Amino acid sequence: MKIHNLTKEEVFRTLVTSENGLTEIEAQRRLHEFGFNEIKEVKKKSLLIRFLGQFTHFLAILLWLAAFMSFLSEYIHPGEGMLTLGLAIITVIFINAIFTFIQEYRAEKALEALKKLLPFNVKVIRDNREKEVSAREVVPGDIVLISEGDRIPADTRLIETSGLKVNNAPLTGESEPVLRSLDPFEGEFIESTNIAFAGTTVVSGSGRAVTFATGMRTEFGRIAHLTNAVETGLSPLQKEIIKATRLIAAIAAAIGIFFFLLGFVIERSFWNNFIFAIGVIVALVPEGMLPTVTLALAMGSQRMAKKKALIKTLTSVETLGSVTVICTDKTGTLTQNKMEVKEVWTLDNSEPEIKLLMQTAYLCNNAKFIDSQYKGDPTETAILKYAREAIGDVTAERISEIPFDPERKRMTTVHRIHDTGCTMHPPLSPLDKGGIKGGYHESCIMNHASLFAFTKGALESVLPLCSYVLIKEKKLPVDENMKEEITNAYHLLMDKGLRVLSFAYKEMKDTPPPIPPPRGGRVREGVSPDIESKMVFVGLIGLEDPPRPEVPEAIRKCNEAGIRIIMITGDASRTAVAIAKEIGLVKGNPIIIEGSEFNQLNDKELREKLSEEEIIFARMTPKHKMRVVSILKEEGEVVAVTGDGVNDAPALKKADIGIAMGITGTDVAKEASDIILLDDNFASIVNAVEEGRMVYENIKKFITYIFASNIPEAVPYLAYILLKIPLPLTIIQILAVDLGTDMLPALALGAEKPTPGVMRLPPRSFKERLLNLSLISRAYLFLGPIEAVACMFGFFWVLYGGGWIWGTMLPSNNILYMQATTACLTGIVVAQIANVFACRSFRESVFSIGFFSNRLIFVGIAFEIALQIFIVYHPWGNAIFATHPITAQMWLVLIPFAVILFFAEETRKLIVRRKIA
């Protein structure tokens, strides 16, 4: 038998405890047996394993292979500079691994700082005495004392309550606080009214409960375990980088092998062919791409952090930019998770009637205003706040109360109100009729000493109790027309998405006799059931959990960006639809699927529903949300899921991007997510999407920049083997470009501002490749050849200027040869200066986006020139890179090629723009 089916006495016997609590000795024994009351992270990789993982992804393996070949070549045929090459490549691998690990480690530590742990101290009964213990030391069988504002430390079975209401939103997604009871419950465990679950909060009342599950055995812990069992998979960027590196590796290997074999045909030695093949592979493999991508993502994550979005894994930066669907919860994500009075209604909406409605709402209320703060149930605090601001404080003595009960759907309080005199109307004769009684108006009766009952609740519960209505300050018998008018007003407010409560009162002659407490609640000084009869209907109050003010604009931007937003909530469908319409999420009549209907849909039917333009899921559970995300991903969508509750965590983990709320989010949700919104602001998602799109766009820009230099690095090797000339560029000089002069300009492209209108473009197709034909042809067939002409022109300019004769092979330490290779290297660097401006946009002219708008470009160019000057003119640079100083005239000879490249690219962009127009 399950614990929620048991009586109080059976619970004590089952858990071997009593109302006196456990003894300290027994509590310590159980702590040793069951362990600490804490959520454990399952299957989390150690820091060492995660660090080593940075050395084993595909691009790293490719670089390891290149390093191995370099060391092998140095061992077999020393003196060719291959040792230096191998060490340089390994340095790149380590720098990238350390940087990536540090960034993700810092994000994890920031997450730990954000975690809101279970309550630190909890009041328990042990050895028949009340004492405070750490929440992690609570054990099964402990008697826990709970009161307003507490978070429940473990799964507990209630044994005593006094108006206790618990907000289960962190666990179930249902925002409405639920009244707790003591009686055995025969329904579903998760819906039990006699259970207070770990991680939920007490919004009003107090009670005692016996703990039956702690730590990972709680519902909270089971969902955490389910979350850890979900496999996340690779991000779109990770997949694209793997595909790109495999393509590059295949191209480099194929060309290297081809020319290695060709060397034998033209009768070159094995080692010349082998060194040549390695040179071609090194030239075509962009060693600088890995650290540049990593640094660009890190820069994006830092910019996101400034916009209140904490990035846990670097690749999440770009993934968010490719999102096609956002599945979002309602409560606390689209809304503020706080109730607010939106409208009040009476039959004639006159000032006296509205004042009486406010007085009734003020008194029939368990919220309190203490120390300049409203405390209690969110609905009741909203009503008290509104009434208090409308009429001020009302002085009355509460005699008794019938608490709200889910079956009755109402609550009633009895008050003695002291005579304050009427300030609204002159004294009236006792003979006056028409609803004016005893010398005062009906709407002013609370200005005179008397005993009153006040009731509030659902209309279907309150209206049948009413024999009268208040119209124009007169108490009139209620008729069917009046009931219809009231009901229509009720439905009108409901259709606006408001939670509507109705209010009534009754003047009583004498203090009523006490009666037994009603089921599910406890009457402070019991009242007679006849007080809830022949009441006077006063009016209606409509409340709303208001949307976050920034949400409508954020949704509009998502719509422009081609991103679908699907609401998946635990709340009722009517409320969900009304909120959705208010924030602009839906405009017509959306498809609405509730949990019961959802369970009956097979995958094919669900796919058909998800293909609808507007759809809302209501009354959903964690498994439901997981299934929606899974189906969407199977359909090729890139899915982001937002949420803050424990119930959101499995879907957060399953999604391509999980977005948790930093302020209201639970620990499990934060742990499962990829991005945490530090300000819980839905609009921050839009900023992050734009940042993600910008990062992907910029990655393509600097890949174009990096790849363009591969052609002038490879052409010298082709010329070397085909034209029988000295090798124009050494391998170590190739690395000087890839890992030296190119790095900062490439990073500066990573900080480029987004192309205008990037948020008005649809999400990129999952079929779109990072290395597409357009990018490769631009880099390899347009920009690269211009740079190759520049570097080869510089090489031959120096050789012929020094008297070289075609066909003469020069030794590697020959000054003329070193000057020629230096000129070749300088030609690449000069051309890359123009290329960095060319790569700032794909179609727009550099002058239209602002020639000086990215100041980091100029910092990168300054670094590039300074490093090249060091390589060309400093003795250390000469020694490391086998260079020799060249004349200033040589630089001037090369500059025209940079000008040609820049304006050739501007011309190409102009032609593209005209074709599009």
Site of tokens 């993982």:
53
**Strands annotated E in 32-154:** 121-126, 129-134, 143-147
Q: Are 190 and 218 in contact (CB under 8 A)?
A: no
171 φ, ψ (degrees, to nearest 5): -100, -45
**From CA 210, how far away is CA 190, in angstroms rounded?**
17
Helix boundaries (H) for 77-206: 82-114, 169-172
Strands 195-196 vs 155-167: parallel, antiparallel or unpaired:
antiparallel
Residue 10 CA neighbour count, 13 Å, CB half: 10
**From CA 662, how far away is CA 665, in angstroms rounded?**
5
Structure tokens at 761: 């473009």
Q: Are 290 and 238 in contact (CB under 8 A)?
A: no
**What length does the chain have?**
917
**From CA 177, how far away is CA 196, in angstroms rounded?**
12
Structure tokens at 779: 């880099």
Is 329 annotated as catalytic? Answer: yes
End-to-end CA distance of the chain: 73
**From CA 872, how far away is CA 149, in angstroms rounded?**
71
Under DSSP, the state recorded for 302 is: H
Amino acid code (one letter) for 692: G
Q: HEC profile for 520-548?
A: CCCCCCCCCHHHHCCEEEEEEEEEECCEC
Catalytic residue among 142, 150, 155, 329: 329
Which residue in 563, 604, 891 sits closest to 759, CA to CA?
563
Angle, nearest 10°, between helix axes 351-363 and 378-391? 140
**From CA 517, how far away is CA 592, in angstroms rounded?**
40
Helix-then-strand count for the chain, H and E:
33, 25
**From CA 886, how far away is CA 823, in angstroms rounded?**
7
Under DSSP, the state recorded for 571 is: S
Q: Are 856 and 792 in contact (CB under 8 A)?
A: no
Helix boundaries (H) for 396-503: 459-462, 480-495
Structure tokens at 222: 């089971």
**From CA 207, how far away is CA 160, in angstroms rounded?**
5
**From CA 686, how far away is CA 675, in angstroms rounded?**
13
Q: Are 645 and 669 in contact (CB under 8 A)?
A: yes
Question: C-alpha 491: how far from its chain's center?
Answer: 36
As a dihedral over the C-alpha atoms of residue 39, residue 43, residue 48, residue 54, rounded to 10 degrees, the angle is -120
Q: Just list the catalytic residues.
A: 329
